[in-house]
Structure 1
Amino acid sequence: MHTDLVAALDIGGTKIAGALVDGRGRILVRAQRPTPAQEDGETVMRAVEAVLGELHASPLWQDARAVGIGSAGPVDASAGTVSPVNVPGWRAYPLVARVRDAAGGLPVELIGDGVAITAAEHWQGAARGHDNALCMVVSTGVGGGLVLGGRLHPGPTGNAGHIGHISVDLDGDPCPCGSRGCVERIASGPNIARRALADGWRPGPDGDTSAAAVATAARAGDPVAVASFERAARALAAGIAATATLVEIDVAVIGGGVGKAGEILFAPLRKALAEYATLSFVQRLAVTPARMGTDAGLVGAAAAALAGRTDTAAMGV
């Protein structure tokens, strides 16, 4: 019998992943469905129910004592609702109640996907052993989460640490969120590629215009590609430095597709951070790549379920 077994859901615009996870963070059973992101809300929920149904079919399900959900946001953990930007059929959707019903009444914990990845990195990854950390996901968007005083700090609605929408350019481009000059508008993968294309970068014969292709060009020395990554790095550095100045983090962990670009991102990021993080109490701030990979959302959702949002210190997440 697994006394610390929980179910975990990682819900994004592309896929809905599910797992049964034990108290050491080991994934014992997996299930996954594509997200029917452009369909109506009930169709999306049926995909969630199919994932839960597959987990329920495992003999291990009888030991599950809670369900943790890490969802694309915005989420509202206080109301139990989600409104993912890239799932238009879900607006203030009562996901916690629906999952509780589908899971036979088990307790359900909801956190944003950035907070879930933070929980995973603090429990088992690059932020392990740090009491004050910012963990970021730099991908199609830019999200994040905070660990403060050794505890996961999701905030009242589960969105604390959402660094992607700190403004770092007062006269910058309008952001789809309604603000201007946000970190995400400069540093996300699509915006790195958009900037490079606007400044004259041209993709290779395969026509790949992704940020990964820009990173490849930057590694080969293309000056426009290098400049686009340097600008993204400055935006990230400004946001990280602002966060560190407010709450005194000592490590910033960067994951997501853009985070995999390696030194093309991290070298200019460290250089820019030295220019922005100048006060004595933030000068030793370290920046490091994430370690948890594609399972981070599931492991973090499991961490939330195991600990409960009211007592995340119980298991060191």
Structure 2
Amino acid sequence: MNVLEHLLLAGLMGGLLLLTTGSVQAQGTKVSALIEKAEAAGIEQSAVTELQNRAQSQGMSNQQLQQILESALDLSDQNLPGQVAIDKALEGLSKGVPADRIIPAVLNIAEGMRQAAEIVDPWMKRPEVQQMMGRPGRSMSQNNYRGQMIRAASKSFVQKIPPGQVKRIFNEIGNKEILSERSAADLLTAINVLPDLPTTSTQPETSASLIVRALRGGFDADKLQQLPSAMKMGQQRSQLPAASVIKGAAQQMEQGTPAKQVLQNLFNGNIGGGPPGNLPPGLERRPDRGNNPGNNNRGGNNNRGGNNGPGGR
């Protein structure tokens, strides 16, 4: 290679280096501008700073960081909680999830927020809901409540619950009877726990019906929060399918069993209420339900755990 070729090669490499450096600097400048916009949009400055620091320390590219910030800003521009996109990215980074998996998750939850807003916004405008929100003693503004309700409902869309089922439960909790008896916090918790019930992924209509029945049966925010774990414990201790556990819990509610007692029965594996082993008709242990074969009598050995569950006496 002669001197001229060496000079040409050196010039080419230098040009490429300048282009690369310029591109990185441009991306860095764009990230800085997006961070300023995010803070101006009301997104928590501490969360944005933490996201930037974690992204740098865990090898996330500026381009990927841009996507997250742009998603958050897009939500904010639509009067939706952009903070959710930042929080989702931070959650992934804290768990060591690769950046190429974090981006789709952020985009998915952003789309869920948009779908949720299409249901929550008309619901919030109902006169009965406005009346509930106007009661003395409420802990948050209507705008904050809207944001929290959209976040809660978006969980259902992220888990692929059909929009019709989500809309149905909002229609039912918008009933005058429920709105007059339950608080805004109760309804928010009801929507928030819906995706956590064990039947929601396969039978969303069953879970939605149980949530509505629980609200009618006196479950407040605290007791609704315990319902998913109580259902899972009831399924584990009774060895019944999740659908049977929900059916048993619904029957207890229909019979007027107090919410606290329904939860205690579920934690103890007493699906039908009453003493251990008491099952409602149709919920007996059967081989075709995935329970112990050859044990078709009512009660069977359904006293696993007895009254030693959480809170048992």
Q: Which has the higher contact order (CA 8 A, sep 6+)?
A: 1
Same fold (TM over 0.5): no
Larger Rg: 2
Band the TM-score falls in, shorter-chain normalisation: under 0.3
